[in-house]
Structure 1
Amino acid sequence: MTTATPQSPTTWTTWHADRVAAVTAPDGAAALTGTHWIHATGPTDAVEAPGAPGRWYIDDDGSEVDLVGTGLSGGWATPVRLAPGERVSDGGLTLVGHSRAGDVALRVFDATSGNRTSVSGIEVFDHDPDWEVTAHFVADPATVTVTSADGFETSGETAGRLEFTLPDGTDHTLRVTDADGGFFVSFSDAGRAAGTHAFRFLHIPAPDADGNTVIDFNRAELPAFAFSGAFHCPLPSAANVLDVPVPAGERRVARLR
């Protein structure tokens, strides 16, 4: 098995600064005030969404399901039509279409919310090259139950597992899903007992021709749920709960006192 090539601490510092900037942006994770599921199916039964202007309903034309907002005042164009993932903003308020398992929601990001303005940064462990570990990918597709932070369950497909050895010499595995040309995993570790967030995310490069890749735990990310409970992030499966602490990566949200 090949050995991981350590990343530059400077590169990691830049990554950390970019992460803080992203989550504290006016439409970043910390600004989310609500995910509001919309079930109204026409303008006559359109509903209000807390924190959002106007009234909202679903428009299903058979090929795409959009959210439609009517009666928005001020600088908003009306009507507003949002496909899942699309967004509109007036500078302080950002409205985003969202979908999950066929249901549609309006997400509201408010740059002035106390939840956003109270965030002072992200607590992290010091960069440690020992936590850049080489892993071997074993293709082992499986259908698993994915539980979200709000309790919603759906089926998901894992691509296989990564086998690796941690700095303390113990062997472990993580089950991973395909994402953005590499792998994604939601994992938890024993460090949560000492104040590390209950679960974190990892983005892992695709393996080389021999099936080897690198898990850089220094880049373990807090889920968006850590910044706003209005997110519904995927919880770790039982297979992805490590029984040892991982003192690397992001630890918890730092807030003004």
Structure 2
Amino acid sequence: MSTDAREEWQDWRERRRAAISGPYGPLALAGTHWLADHPDGRIAGLPGHWTAGDDAVVLRAGPDDGLTVDNEPAAGEIRLGPDADPASTRVTSGERHLLVLRRDGDWAVRDFDPESKARRSFAGIDVYGHDERWVRPGLFRPYAQGRTIRVRNADGQRRGLGLAGELAFTLEGDEHTLQVAVEGDGSLWAVLADATSGTDSYRFRFLRPPAPAADGTVTVDLNRILLPPCAFADHFLCPFPPPGNTLSVALRAGERNPTVR
């Protein structure tokens, strides 16, 4: 392994740990509360009155609730759209950030608490050692039309997963393919399992290769296989691998499992 590759991989590991363990990283998610389960607008442990509309969540709050919206004390009725970043969500309760989520037309409030039990007990991420043989040339083959399939999520519900094509690469002379999504920046995203899943590594993992070149070629670095957010907190809705994305090979590469104190 070259010195540059070793240093880049180590830097990746350190950045991942920092992102996961930050005050509003995945470990801080203490709850996802679906508003359909709270028709009276009250969520146990959260101040304010939360109701779902067609195009927004309506928060009603007063001085006694201690909420802030856009850094000002919440007062009266406020309409809230979906938040993108837990670190900069509009609604806060002390150090807690209350993020509005919409998924498949349903609204929820997520509670990111820097004092969550998961964050306090986090000790690190167990990873396989870097191996250059896991860095493979790949080819992205887009579908003529994108497709959406329904897959089970970590909370037991089935939801749509958008797929844009397949990513092909070879290992020991055999071609393997993964169905992938294309992110807004052109990078790829695959949800996968392999022969280590559920035993030597978490039950499924993510792979995020960079944007392919114009001819579809892309480097597939399996050393950077990621744990999904639901490996760090139980309140995420991570999709399970779609059909065809459970590989028969043992990918002893990338992140394996979280470690706790």
Would the TM-score normalized by the shorter structure come out above 0.5?
Answer: yes
- 177-186 vs 205-214, which moves further: 205-214
Change (3 A) 1:68 1:145: same
**Aligned-partner residue type, residue 51 of structure 1:** G
Fraction of identical pairs, as percent: 37
Change (3 A) 1:28 1:50: farther
1:172 to 151, 173, 176: 176
**Aligned-partner residue type, residue 151 of structure 1:** G
Match of 2:42 in 1: 48
| Distance in structure 1 (CA, Å) of the matches to 2:235 and 2:32 | 6
1:83 to 81, 84, 107: 81
1:104 to 103, 107, 110: 107
Change (3 A) 1:59 1:206: same
1:57 to 37, 51, 60: 51
Is 1:38 equivalent to 2:35 in the alignment?
A: yes
Change (3 A) 1:68 1:6: farther
2:248 to 221, 243, 252: 243
Helix, strand or coil: the match of 1:34?
strand
Tell me, which stretches of 5 or more residues in structure 1 are unaligned?
Answer: none
TM-score, normalised by the number of residues in structure 1: 0.86
**Aligned-partner residue type, residue 127 of structure 2:** V
Is 1:132 equivalent to 2:135 in the alignment?
A: yes
**Aligned-partner residue type, residue 133 of structure 2:** D
Q: Across the two proteins, how many residue pairs are aligned to each other?
A: 245
> Cα distance, 1:7 vs. partner?
6.8
TM-score, normalised by the number of residues in structure 2: 0.85
**Aligned-partner residue type, residue 49 of structure 2:** R
| Distance in structure 1 (CA, Å) of the matches to 2:235 and 2:168 | 33
Within 5 A, what are the aligned runs for 1:1-257?
Answer: 8-39=5-36, 46-60=40-54, 64-71=55-62, 73-74=65-66, 76=68, 77-79=73-75, 81-85=79-83, 87=89, 88-90=91-93, 92-140=95-143, 141=145, 142-166=147-171, 168-180=172-184, 181-256=186-261
Change (3 A) 1:191 1:99: same
**Aligned-partner residue type, residue 44 of structure 2:** P
> Cα distance, 1:138 vs. partner?
1.9
Change (3 A) 1:69 1:243: farther
Helix, strand or coil: the match of 1:8?
helix
Superposed CA RMSD: 2.4
> Cα distance, 1:73 vs. partner?
2.7
**Aligned-partner residue type, residue 10 of structure 1:** E
Change (3 A) 1:120 1:213: same
